[in-house]
Structure 1
């Protein structure tokens, strides 16, 4: 999870913070999205030959792209939340510094609010179930399509 709380594993943190994920995670996510997109484009390209096989390929493309796309979406949401939290904290500190000489410290108390930074809910069981359902649909449609007959070449 990219938003981590202070713990034994992260002793330098004083509040929940966005931590950049390891390099391999975005690479794997983008690989799944691109592969799924290419499979979906291939499904659209073969739509004229066999509709059932094209739909099956589209389901396979969605199944390949769904987990990576969901991870990228959740990472984006976490980065946006972390940036908003950082901006709010910075504005509160700036407002406190600006008014420090004019107002009593008790009046500045409400300016230093504590905004809990929570990670975006990943919902991986739902995403995994959706991916599994897409894969089952792909297998069922491919089985229903059956083998494509290869025309025999007649000698001349």
Structure 2
């Protein structure tokens, strides 16, 4: 359970200082996972995974990064209801968001074939591998942020 007092006094731990080699590896993974992907798509994926994982720090960060990449306020606001927001996201973006949700939540313990195949229709195999790497990476970041209770607001572009 998250308490106001915990957030007011800072994170539970300073993960990057306590696990510097893991932190360095995470930043390298982050850099590698971005290769060949559209910067706006990257931020949409990161925002959607962060919404599902309730990572306030990452939501704050990636909303700022999305704006910097040229994303509109309207699409940022509608992202949590992307399936109902027809006409706001391309079919490729929608396929990426569906895959993001399936990988992030793993509702039935696996990614449904139809979700994977939908993404595969819109992304060449190399780009699909990069997208999967990006989804895995943001989920790892979210788990670090949520577990250590990183507070939003400290990140600036």
> Does 1 or 2 have the higher relative contact order (CA < 8 Å, sep 6+)?
2
**TM-score (structure 1 length as normaliser):** 0.25
**TM-score (structure 2 length as normaliser):** 0.25
Q: Of Structure 1 and Structure 2, which has the larger fraction of its residues in helix?
A: 2
